[in-house]
A and B are shown apart, each in its own frame.
Chain A
């Protein structure tokens, strides 16, 4: 029984058997990716909800914790991520135009930016470790109590801020790692010449994911680093 009249037709190599045409396949992938991003919003939403409540309750502790972060490094990381989003966007364009080498270069640049972000994040976490700002038994915020006498700091509540800080930046970093992994695959297949102006859906979907992870950081940066910046300096 070889006759499967639907399965044979004018199928290109990238078109999976169960789609009628390339447009349907692309539409399905795009909708699927946007839905996935919606689930990601809900995923991070749980933490943003917790953040909202605790920041309202423990404002002074949140402000002090925020001031203990390294704003310079945070700003550099923000700039790095924005640049990486630019290279991704240009990469999608390069794929559309069929410029293989340019695409590979842009994807590689994105990966480099991704590693740079993660490296700087690691430096920041290590600093927190040295300062005993990691929640748990050795948690100590005497330094913050000393530095910000104008704030009412309860060390127990300060742990809530740092718990949220590590949970939120940690899960964001996990998404970055997954993103870098995705882009390694994309770069490999781009190098092999799989993506053409007719078929570049994976680059576009990878780009959507990267932009999403980027946007999460755009919210995390002010929420975690810039609390009461003008008053405490």
Chain B
């Protein structure tokens, strides 16, 4: 048996069956993860294309590349594509789908067919949204604010709303599958306190998806009803309240930020522990801080509305609650740093992304505190300061985490190693390009440049040119991994089962794993991150 497993024809999830049917009708969580990988990569480049057009328009103060109407559509569709079709499914639906069952020693997610259904819902939503883009697009801003979206916009709001409504159900079903799987499918001995932190963070994410997304669904549905059937729930002409829309919208859309960042933190914990070869510092605190972020995340939504006309007292309370989110976030950052302290750090590609994540997330988080402060928010509200802040979280945090995770688990997913030199180069390009793109926007915002305008006064040009220049570097940094990942599938070095000497059940099975994940049933008798018991592999160079 053991000799067969090593031979070249070893059967695994990728070569068990061939043909388009075996992929489109698969219920294997690993294959569904790859289906998601392909579809979200497509939307990442669609969203990136819009971003590039935005940056090109802002190269000069005049509105020369596109006119105001087109510009409105560009930033709207950039936001909607990136948030609903890339960031929210990115880590959970790709890495989470692939790894949650593997990490807890299960053969699959609890509901494999619902898992496939969630991908199909995503694709249906994606097709509707692409149709919306191709037939004129939408210009409401990603936030769909009423009454503009319900009464004034002449673009395809209904179509965009329905697409995002359906994408929401895809997200709900993924979350539901994860929660049930984590509760009911753990291998014998895999107690809650032995779960990898990746699982804890995905558990917290799933709770947000389950409780938040339906509220967005009903809100968008009411907007669609208002446009399509003339209902008047948010219509100020009939006594409806646009602020109610904002409350309902942000009740989901603020926690949605944690849907994006928590899985990146999940990846971060795994990478940091592996490449410092230490048990993560303060396991319980890191695990519980994920839950705390999920809980607090539901109590801070109105900090998006400080200048929208909510009462001073509620603004005060939401401001204080928003500060509270900083506590569990800081616990995570401090614990990762403490894990590195006196660890044997190796500067592999995933670890470079992990370092980048910590730095950028810290910047994004701290500027979030500026925005949570009532006085400063009045000054920088709706300026590029806000844009820079949330891009530091969503791109500097979530996308860095996603890319780090993709590199870390690529050997497991594909059975091949990616070229390490190119990987490090791309990681550095992403980090440099990102900072050059978005750091100038903090300054622009502080100087008062408002968001969502296609023209600006000439004195802002230097910083805008820097930002556009950075975005091109960033684009190269994003295209590179795509090229060498594809290249490595054919030409990469064959990956051993555990190339990094990492702890965790997913590394105990073969690379790539067999369809049912493990050749034999697993029983867990060790704590998570038992790095003192695992020898460091020779291939990963340890540089001190």
**A interface list, Cβ under 8 A from B:** 1, 3-7, 16-18, 24, 27-28, 31-32, 35-36, 38-40, 42-47, 49-50, 53-54, 57-58, 135-137, 154, 156-157, 159-160, 163-164, 166-167, 171
Say whether, besides A7-B516, A46-B215, A167 and B225 are in contact (CB < 8 Å).
Answer: yes
The smallest C-beta distance from B314 to any residue of chain A, in angstroms, reads 14
The smallest C-beta distance from A61 to any residue of chain B, in angstroms, reads 8
Which of B228-236, B275-283, B299-307 forms contacts with chain A?
B228-236
Which of B136-144, B237-245, B372-380 forms contacts with chain A?
B237-245
Give Cα distance in the complex from A54 to B245, angstroms.
13
Name the residue in A16, A18, A160 with the highest tally of chain B Cβ atoms < 10 Å from its Cβ: A18
Say whether, besides A31-B184, A32-B110, A163 and B210 are in contact (CB < 8 Å).
Answer: no
Residue B108, interface by CB 8 Å = yes
Q: How many A-B residue pairs have CB under 8 A?
A: 134
Please list 20 pairs of residues, one from A and one from B, whose beta carbons are closer than 8 Å in the complex, sorted by A's number. A5-B520, A7-B107, A18-B516, A24-B184, A31-B179, A39-B176, A39-B210, A40-B214, A42-B214, A42-B215, A43-B215, A46-B222, A46-B248, A54-B240, A54-B241, A157-B239, A159-B239, A160-B233, A163-B240, A166-B231
Contact with A along B194-237 (1 / 0, CB 8 A): 00000000000000001111110111011001100111110001
Chain B contact surface mostly: helix
Contact, CB under 8 Å: B184 / A27: yes
Contact, CB under 8 Å: A156 / B239: yes
Give Cα distance in the complex from A17 to B112, angstroms.
10
B1-44 contacts to A, CB under 8 A, are 1, 4, 10-11
The smallest C-beta distance from A39 to any residue of chain B, in angstroms, reads 5
Contact, CB under 8 Å: A6 / B184: no
Contact, CB under 8 Å: A39 / B213: yes
Contact, CB under 8 Å: A43 / B218: yes
Residue B106, interface by CB 8 Å = yes
Q: Which of A31, A38, A58, A135 contacts B231 (CB 8 A)?
A: A135
The smallest C-beta distance from A163 to any residue of chain B, in angstroms, reads 4
Give A61's nearest chain B residue, CB to CB: B239
Give Cα distance in the complex from A39 to B520, angstroms.
36
Residue B312, interface by CB 8 Å = no
Give B248's nearest chain A residue, CB to CB: A46
The smallest C-beta distance from B14 to any residue of chain A, in angstroms, reads 14
Chain B residues in 8 Å Cβ range of A167: 222, 225, 231, 233
Extra contacts besides A42-B212, A167-B233 (15): CB < 8 Å = A1-B4, A5-B521, A6-B107, A6-B516, A18-B185, A24-B184, A28-B111, A39-B176, A45-B214, A45-B215, A54-B240, A54-B241, A135-B232, A154-B239, A164-B233
Give Cα distance in the complex from A31 to B177, angstroms.
10
Give B210's nearest chain A residue, CB to CB: A39
Contact, CB under 8 Å: B248 / A49: yes
Chain A residues in 8 Å Cβ range of B238: 135, 156-157, 159-160, 163
Give Cα distance in the complex from A58 to B229, angstroms.
22
Contact, CB under 8 Å: A160 / B239: yes
Say whether, besides A6-B107, A17-B107, A167-B222, A50 and B233 are in contact (CB < 8 Å).
Answer: yes
The smallest C-beta distance from A29 to any residue of chain B, in angstroms, reads 8
Q: Which of A7, A38, A137 contacts B230 (CB 8 A)?
A: A137
Chain A residues in 8 Å Cβ range of B230: 135-137
Contact, CB under 8 Å: A57 / B239: yes
Give Cα distance in the complex from A135 to B238, angstroms.
10
Give Cα distance in the complex from A86 to B239, angstroms.
41
Chain A residues in 8 Å Cβ range of B232: 135, 156, 159-160, 163
The smallest C-beta distance from A78 to any residue of chain B, in angstroms, reads 23
Chain B residues in 8 Å Cβ range of A49: 244, 248
Contact, CB under 8 Å: B180 / A32: yes
Give Cα distance in the complex from A2 to B229, angstroms.
58
Give B10's nearest chain A residue, CB to CB: A1
Residue B172, interface by CB 8 Å = yes
Give Cα distance in the complex from A18 to B107, angstroms.
5
Residue B183, interface by CB 8 Å = yes
Contact with A along B154-198 (1 / 0, CB 8 A): 000000000000000000100011011101110000000000000
Chain B residues in 8 Å Cβ range of A3: 1
Contact, CB under 8 Å: A1 / B180: no
